[in-house]
């Protein structure tokens, strides 16, 4: 049966502060860290801790980090997300809008922008290659809330993940090869994924399985042996145990194992952002070099790379 509803695409990412200031960062982090998908602590314990200690201390520090990576047109995540939207519009014959789980433009604003163009069925593409309840499921929760405020809820299709999609793996491999051509091939390729608390995986989150699968397929695509590639988890927060091995701890030990020339990438991020441009490219470089490393090659995210956009178009068409 042919679908004659007018379709549109909602590209979704996590979100970003509106500006690199402490108040804007505080607003953004407050919304993000209030989500039970992200922090599942009992509210009466978590909220006083969040508002009394974490946000007042963390917001000014994080604002300074954002200032160090802020681009002329805004936050890197926002700049690259807008470029992805523009390029995707040219590839698919339907409206494409952007929505963020936290911050602006909101998921509701993205859906309303599509409805204003006569869209009756929304194809939702969260830009998280590997599924996690902390990210992908949070998009689904956010959409449910958004639909409560819309008189007629549109039909929608939800693309849950693409961690093993051939074009995604190919795009990652091509981004590595480009850096190898420009700077030479390192001794080792480290894939650093965003971490989640280990407890979430123990309770059934399939995220680490997806990260494993992506790394295995990338190794195969690049023809790398197991001793030439590895995976770790970054960006842990709080005191509880997160998925291991940790990126920072691993970087301390690699030079001692004879790995002096390192290539590093973050396959879980579809756009460069604070966690890649500052945490990986700056902080992690420092850790590696201080512990005896010679060369640290940061491989940018796929951003608005043509193969990345082609993959999105393929996901939408299928």
pLDDT tens-digit profile of 90-133? 999 899 999 999 999 999 999 999 999 999 999 999 999 999 99
Please say if the pLDDT value at position 2 is more than 80: no
- Residue 3 pLDDT grade (very low, low, confident, very high; cuts 50, 70, 90): low
Tokens 């491989």 found at: 299
Instruction: For residue 1, count other CB atoms closer than 10 A to its CB.
Output: 3
Q: What does the block give as tokens for 45? A: 């314990």
% of residues, the chain, pLDDT over 70: 99
The annotation status of 275 as a binding-site residue, yes or no, is yes
How much is the pLDDT for 235?
96
Please, where in the chain does CATH 3.40.50.1400 lie? 7-162+307-317, 166-298
- Cβ-based burial of 308 (10 A; exposed 0-12, middle 13-18, buried ≥19): buried
CA-CA distances (angstroms) from residue 206 to 13, 71, 137, 210?
19, 34, 12, 7
- Mean pLDDT, residues 56-84: 97
CA distance 277 to 274: 5
- Mean pLDDT, residues 243-256: 98
Residue 138 near residue 38, CB atoms below 8 Å: yes
Please say if the pLDDT value at position 23 is more than 90: yes
Residue pLDDT, tens place only, 285-297:
999 999 999 999 9
306-317 vs 166-183: helix crossing angle, rounded to 10: 180
The residue among 177, 163, 178 whose CA lies nearest residue 267 is: 163
**3-state class (DSSP) for residue 235:** coil
The annotation status of 308 as a binding-site residue, yes or no, is no
Name the H helices within the chain: 22-34, 43-49, 55-69, 76-91, 107-115, 136-148, 166-183, 198-202, 207-222, 247-253, 274, 285-290, 306-317
CA distance 121 to 76: 30
CA-CA distances (angstroms) from residue 150 to 97, 115, 188, 226, 258?
17, 10, 50, 50, 58
- Residue 312 pLDDT grade (very low, low, confident, very high; cuts 50, 70, 90): very high
The fold adopted by the segment(s) 7-162+307-317 is Rossmann fold (3.40.50)
How much is the pLDDT for 106?
97
| 34 Cβ contact partners less than 8 Å away, ≥ 6 residues apart | 47, 50
Whether domain 166-298 has CATH 3.40.50.1400: the reply is yes
CA distance 39 to 197: 9
CA distance 288 to 186: 14
CA distance 291 to 195: 23
- Mean pLDDT, residues 162-187: 97
Please say if the pLDDT value at position 159 is more than 70: yes
Average pLDDT value over all residues in the chain: 96
Terminal alpha carbon distance of the chain: 15
């Amino acid at each position: 049966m042919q679908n004659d509803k007018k379709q549109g695409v909602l590209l979704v990412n996590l979100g970003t502060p509106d500006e690199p200031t402490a108040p804007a960062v505080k607003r953004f982090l407050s919304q993000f860290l209030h989500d039970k998908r992200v922090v599942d602590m009992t509210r009466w314990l978590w909220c006083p801790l969040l508002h009394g200690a974490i946000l007042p201390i963390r917001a000014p520090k994080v604002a300074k980090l954002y200032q160090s990576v802020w681009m002329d047109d805004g936050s890197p995540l926002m700049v690259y997300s807008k470029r992805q939207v523009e390029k995707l519009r040219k590839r698919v014959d339907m409206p494409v809008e952007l929505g963020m789980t936290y911050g602006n433009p909101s998921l509701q604003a993205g859906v309303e922008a599509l409805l204003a163009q006569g869209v009756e069925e929304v194809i939702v593409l969260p830009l998280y290659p590997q599924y996690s309840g902390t990210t992908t499921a949070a998009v689904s929760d956010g959409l449910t809330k958004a639909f409560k405020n819309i008189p007629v809820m549109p039909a929608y299709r939800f693309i849950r993940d693409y961690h093993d999609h051939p074009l995604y793996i190919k795009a990652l491999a091509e981004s590595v090869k480009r850096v190898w051509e420009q700077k030479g091939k390192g001794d080792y390729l480290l894939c650093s994924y965003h971490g989640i608390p280990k407890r979430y995986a123990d309770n059934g989150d399939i995220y680490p399985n997806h990260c494993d699968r992506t790394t295995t397929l990338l190794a195969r695509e690049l023809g790398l042996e197991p001793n030439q590639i590895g995976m770790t988890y970054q960006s842990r927060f709080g005191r509880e145990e997160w998925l291991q091995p940790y990126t920072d701890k691993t970087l301390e030990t690699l030079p001692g194992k004879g790995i002096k020339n390192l290539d590093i990438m973050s396959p879980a991020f579809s756009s460069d952002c604070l966690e890649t441009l500052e945490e990986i490219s700056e902080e992690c470089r420092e850790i590696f070099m201080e512990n005896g490393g010679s060369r640290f090659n940061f491989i940018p995210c796929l951003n608005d790379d043509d193969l990345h956009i082609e993959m999105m178009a393929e996901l939408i068409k299928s």
